[in-house]
Amino acid sequence: MRILMCNKYFRTSGPSTKYFFGLSETFEKHGHQVIHFSMQDPRNEPSPYADYFASQVDFNQRLTPWRYAREFARAIYCLEARAKAERLVRDTKPDIVMLFNIYHHLSPSILEGFRKYSLPTVYLLEDFFLICPNYRLYAHGAVCERCKNGHFSEAVRQRCFQESTFRSLAAAGVAYVHKWLNLYRRSIDAYIAPSQFVLDKFVEHGFEQEKITVIPHGLPVDHIVPRFGGDDYIVYLGHLEPWKGTSTLFQAMRQLPDIRLFFLGDGKSRSELEREGKRLNLTNMEFKGYVTGPIFHELVRNSRFVVVPSEWYEVFGTVTWEAFAYGKPVIGSRIGATPELVKEGETGVLFEPGNAADLAEKIRYLYENLQQTAKMGKNGRLLVETSLSLDHNHEATMALFDKLLADINP
């Protein structure tokens, strides 16, 4: 089968692209031809299809009003991306299209091109962009669903996109235009939800349940050697942002001065938390920053367990998956998709999101029960080797592809 995979980034920039590249390799391992469409970027991985990629844009840089208006128009409908995607389709003749993160940088214009050639199109619901202009269903320190039923003006009222009225207005404007033109829904044949929670949430917001299939993410695991149990420290992995619950974790660790925590990641909350730690003379927390490679491997592998204190709706929990791969149980907040992976007493323990006292109690319990920690870690590793493996993901995804192609060619 010839599979066209689209993602705005063609470099490893986080869990989403790790999955994108991992699944690409798995498709190829099983004998499929994988064709890529993305955005040009000097940091991209090599690709034989790079000449087809859309030109680069960076919406985070400071732009002149004229330049911002031009990029706003591109986010709504990018003629260049559509033309290049159509040329790629004509030259490579794919059987099916799988879409990851395309909005803004590539825009739904490419969907129109795929529909022109009657290509079945599958969209991966990796966040909440189709129902929330800021992608997260989270604003100002709490879960937020004010935009439900397409009331995207609430995003402007709440200034929920980068806390900017102007950027929130632009995000809401893009969402309204896409809704009015029905650019996404009319061109997508099926959706993949990485968790039951995501399926239920999109159905709650008006999507057709029969068009959504739950297929959990998978990542390469063979290169990770697990260790069950660990040294005298615990870790947090990922972005240091308010919606990730980093402040709650910080407050919990204040109650546990004898337990060491390493923050592995960076983000807007880091400087604030570091300042507060110095002010209070706290020595049990260390901010390692963004680490990769052997350093990351050793720090996670030798930890006792991983804490995932998210306060937004996690769509899957790649950090949780990664912890399991290293043989580490997870203390996770009882919100979003996290409880689907963190089974109480089996692969970890759960606490109430935002409740620092509850989190501190769970950390103390798991830290002092090393035998239980090792057992949970083994269960987590077994989970990623079976139902959360890339091979299992490939099997489920191909079943969906075969069904879509059979519907077109009965």
> What pLDDT score was predicted for residue 61?
65
> What pLDDT score was predicted for residue 384?
93
**Helices marked H in 159-217:** 165-181, 196-204
> What pLDDT score was predicted for residue 65?
61
DSSP string, 343-357: -BTTTEEEE-TT-HH
> What pLDDT score was predicted for residue 70?
72
Nearest CA to 318 out of 407, 393, 410 is that of: 393
Tell me the pTM: 0.94
CA 125 from chain centre, in angstroms, equals 9
How does pLDDT run along the chain (410 residues), one tens digit per residue? 999 999 999 998 777 888 999 999 999 999 999 999 999 999 999 999 999 999 988 766 665 666 667 777 888 889 999 999 999 999 999 999 999 999 888 999 999 999 999 999 999 999 999 999 999 999 989 999 999 999 999 999 999 888 888 888 888 988 999 999 898 999 999 999 999 999 999 999 999 999 999 999 988 888 899 999 999 999 999 999 999 999 999 999 999 999 999 999 999 899 999 999 999 999 999 999 999 889 999 999 999 999 999 999 999 999 999 999 999 999 999 999 999 999 999 999 999 999 999 999 999 999 999 999 999 999 999 999 988 889 999 999 999 999 999 987 76
The span from the CA of 109 to the CA of 113, in Å, is 7
Sign of the CA dihedral with 18 first, then 20, 25, and 26 last: positive
Taking CA atoms, 76 is separated from 71, 137, 175, 249, in Å, by: 9, 21, 8, 38
Q: Which residue has 């599958």 as its token pair?
A: 122
Q: Cite the beta strand spans of 182-303 per DSSP E.
A: 190-193, 212-214, 233-237, 260-264, 285-289
Residues 253, 277 contacting (CB under 8 angstroms): no
Domains contained in the chain, CATH given: 2-130+184-218+389-408 (3.40.50.2000), 233-385 (3.40.50.2000)
Looking only at the bridges linking them, the beta strands covering 2-6 and 96-99 are: parallel
> What pLDDT score was predicted for residue 21?
93
The span from the CA of 320 to the CA of 383, in Å, is 11
> What pLDDT score was predicted for residue 407?
84
Nearest CA to 121 out of 101, 98, 100 is that of: 98
User: Per the structure block, which two tokens stand in for 8?
Assistant: 């705005």
> What pLDDT score was predicted for residue 247?
95
Amino acid 379 reads N
